[in-house]
């Protein structure tokens, strides 16, 4: 099994979306350019969501159009619906992400519809993306614990993950949105998902509220997952996940997986500098 771990840097999106004070478009562009210089192959730059819901992401178009692109790097954005996809396509996103939830409570709070409605809403997004030659990653939020519905039934995670894969997502991310998962819970849900989907399709997206995200990554590595989302400086959270803190910090993931014998291809010294810049953007 490969000893290469790919880090999908989501700091410019997941990291910044939760910041109350508006960050300048120029600083957001600088952050993405600095991350590119660290050697990331995949960067989630922004989200084309409703600016009424997440004002911090209102400049998505300007940010995605303003970055210096490096050949071979995938610059992606979240798109909750066709309107978001159209905007992302206009801004030349290389990849888009659709995001569903494993619980009705989180689905309603985050994207204002039921799980089934969200899946129906994503179908034309995937079709439009395929027609445009843009790849689509899917994400399942709240895979173990939900701030609204409590403990999550892995069956529901499997159902949504499989629906996203069947729709045509080339990758399905499994997210501990509120950072309440433990390695034991992650193992249970991964075992359930792996009954239905190949490991090469999966990625992990773990928030670090309770300081267990690195252990959750370790158990995921043991299961064969080699792709993880993380946010530089450990910034972030979701405006619709009360109390949850940021994604696991990219620099901490790189340090841990390197010590475990994996390589990431990233420049660690540069990462530490960018983490300082990123934290400076955060209130």
Q: Residues near 62 by Cβ (< 8 Å), separated by ≥ 6?
A: 25
- Residue 185: burial class (beta carbons within 10 Å; 0-12, 13-18, 19+): buried
Cβ of residue 106: shortest distance to Mg ion, in angstroms? 11
Contact status: 44 vs Mg ion (CB under 5 A): no
Question: 110-131: buried (b, 16+ CB within 10 Å) or exposed (e) per residue?
Answer: bbebebeebbebbeebbebbee
- The one of ligand HMG, Mg ion, none whose footprint includes residue 17, by CB under 5 to 8 A per kind, is ligand HMG
The interface partner of residue 30, options being Mg ion, ligand HMG, none and the CB cut-off 5 to 8 Å by kind, is: none
Q: Which of 237, 233, 223, 150 is nearest to 193 (CA)?
A: 223
For ligand HMG, which is the closer residue by CB, 47 or 230? 47
| Closest separation in Å from C-beta 238 to ligand HMG | 4
Residues in 10-29 at the binding interface with Mg ion, rule: CB under 5 A: 14
Pick what 212 binds: Mg ion, ligand HMG, none; C-beta below 5 to 8 Å, kind-dependent.
Answer: none
Place of tokens 């990554």: 217
Is the CB of residue 53 less than 8 Å from the CB of residue 23? no
Could you list the active site residues?
238
| Nearer to Mg ion among residue 28 and residue 205 (C-beta) | 205
Residue 52 partner contact from ligand HMG, Mg ion, none using kind-dependent CB cut-offs of 5 to 8 Å: ligand HMG
Smallest distance from ligand HMG to CB 44, Å? 9
Indicate which of Mg ion, ligand HMG, none lies near residue 83 (CB less than 5 to 8 Å, by partner kind): ligand HMG
Which helix (H) or strand (E) segment is 172 a member of?
strand 171-176
Smallest distance from Mg ion to CB 166, Å: 23
Nearer to Mg ion, 14 or 208 (CB): 14
Q: Are 93 and 60 in contact (CB under 8 A)?
A: no
**Shortest distance (Å) from residue 10 CB to Mg ion:** 7
- Is 20 or 71 the residue whose CB approaches ligand HMG more closely? 20
Closest CA to 110 of 157, 63, 78, 82: 78
Which residues contact ligand HMG by CB under 6 A? Answer: 14, 17, 47-50, 52-54, 78, 80-81, 83-84, 87, 99, 110-112, 139, 141, 175, 177, 205, 207, 238-240
Nearer to ligand HMG, 40 or 240 (CB): 240
The answer to whether the CB of 19 falls within 8 A of the CB of 279 is no
The tokens for 11 are 């700091």
Rounded-to-integer distance, Cα 106 and Cα 87, Å: 25
Which partner from the list ligand HMG, Mg ion, none does 224 bind, CB cut-off 5 to 8 Å by kind? none
Q: For the CB of residue 48, give the shortest distance to ligand HMG in the complex, in Å.
A: 5
* 235 close to 38: Cβ distance less than 8 angstroms: no
Interface residues toward Mg ion, by CB under 5 A: 14
């Amino acid at each position: 099994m490969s000893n290469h771990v790919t880090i999908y840097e989501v700091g410019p999106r997941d990291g910044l979306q939760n910041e109350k004070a508006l960050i300048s478009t120029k600083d957001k562009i600088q952050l993405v350019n600095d991350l590119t210089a660290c050697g990331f192959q995949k960067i989630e730059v922004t989200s084309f969501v409703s600016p009424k819901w997440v004002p911090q992401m209102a400049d998505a178009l300007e940010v995605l159009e303003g970055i210096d692109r490096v050949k071979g790097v995938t610059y992606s954005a979240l798109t909750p619906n066709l309107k978001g996809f159209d905007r992302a396509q206009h801004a030349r996103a290389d990849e888009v992400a659709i995001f569903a939830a494993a619980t009705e409570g989180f689905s309603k709070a985050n994207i204002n519809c039921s799980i089934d409605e969200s899946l129906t809403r994503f179908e034309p997004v995937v079709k439009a993306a395929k027609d445009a030659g843009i790849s689509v990653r899917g994400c399942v939020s709240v895979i173990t614990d939900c701030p609204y519905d409590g403990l999550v039934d892995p069956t529901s995670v499997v159902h949504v993950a499989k629906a996203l894969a069947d729709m045509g997502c080339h990758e399905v991310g499994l997210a501990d949105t509120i950072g309440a998962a433990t390695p034991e819970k992650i193992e249970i849900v991964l075992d359930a998902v792996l009954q239905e989907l190949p490991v090469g399709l999966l990625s992990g997206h773990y928030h670090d509220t309770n300081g267990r995200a690195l252990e959750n990554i370790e158990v995921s590595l043991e299961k064969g997952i080699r792709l993880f989302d993380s946010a530089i400086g450990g910034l972030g959270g979701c405006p619709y996940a009360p109390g949850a803190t940021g994604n696991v910090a990219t620099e901490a993931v790189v340090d841990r997986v390197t010590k475990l014998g994996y390589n990431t291809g990233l420049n660690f010294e540069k990462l530490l500098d960018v983490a300082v810049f990123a934290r400076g953007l955060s209130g």
